[in-house]
């Protein structure tokens, strides 16, 4: 075989391997707290912020800590790398992306998404009352 064909085949195989790895890393499934504790993969933990428990930003480590409760009522400490997301106090639900760290006993989030009440939801509630 010609050296150009061999080099080309190696480059194509390298791109296929890299693409497959990137796809598997970006394919993150939703789970609850117990599912996050069982798996060592990156997951999306959906729930609501437990406002009664402490939440704080630590400027020394640049982390935001809060507690999340999933649909089954199980609570979990979440440590986010960075500051709290915008409108975190208004959030009706929270999705944390990351991994559970069993040695430390918390969920280490790299990203937190919030769902805030929409101004359209308030208008729909007012319309229902008026009819």
Rg of the chain over all Cα atoms, to the nearest angstrom: 21
Pairing relationship of beta strands 75-81 and 93-101 according to DSSP bridges: unpaired
What pLDDT was estimated at residue 2? Answer: 86
Length of the chain: 131
Domain 3-119: CATH superfamily is Nucleic acid-binding proteins (2.40.50.140)
**Spans of the chain, pLDDT less than 50:** none
Per DSSP, 98 falls in state E
Q: CA-to-CA distance for 83 and 63, rounded, in angstroms?
A: 6
Distance CA 107, CA 15 (A): 32
pTM of the model: 0.69
Domain chopping of the chain, boundaries: 3-119
Give me the pLDDT at residue 69, please.
92
The pLDDT > 70 percentage for the chain reads 85
Q: What is the rounded CA–CA span in Å between residue 25 and residue 16?
A: 14
């Amino acid at each position: 075989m010609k050296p150009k064909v061999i080099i080309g085949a190696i480059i194509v195989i390298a791109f296929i391997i890299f693409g497959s790895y990137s796809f598997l890393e970006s394919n993150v499934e939703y789970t609850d707290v117990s599912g996050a504790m069982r798996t060592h993969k990156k997951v999306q933990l959906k729930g609501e912020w437990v406002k009664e428990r402490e939440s704080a930003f630590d400027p020394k480590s640049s982390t935001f800590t809060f507690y999340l409760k999933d649909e089954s009522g199980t609570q979990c400490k979440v440590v986010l790398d960075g500051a709290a997301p915008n409108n975190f106090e208004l959030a009706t639900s929270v999705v944390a992306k990351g991994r559970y760290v069993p040695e430390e006993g918390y969920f280490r989030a790299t990203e937190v998404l919030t769902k805030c009440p929409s101004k359209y939801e308030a208008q729909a509630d007012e319309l229902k009352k008026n009819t």
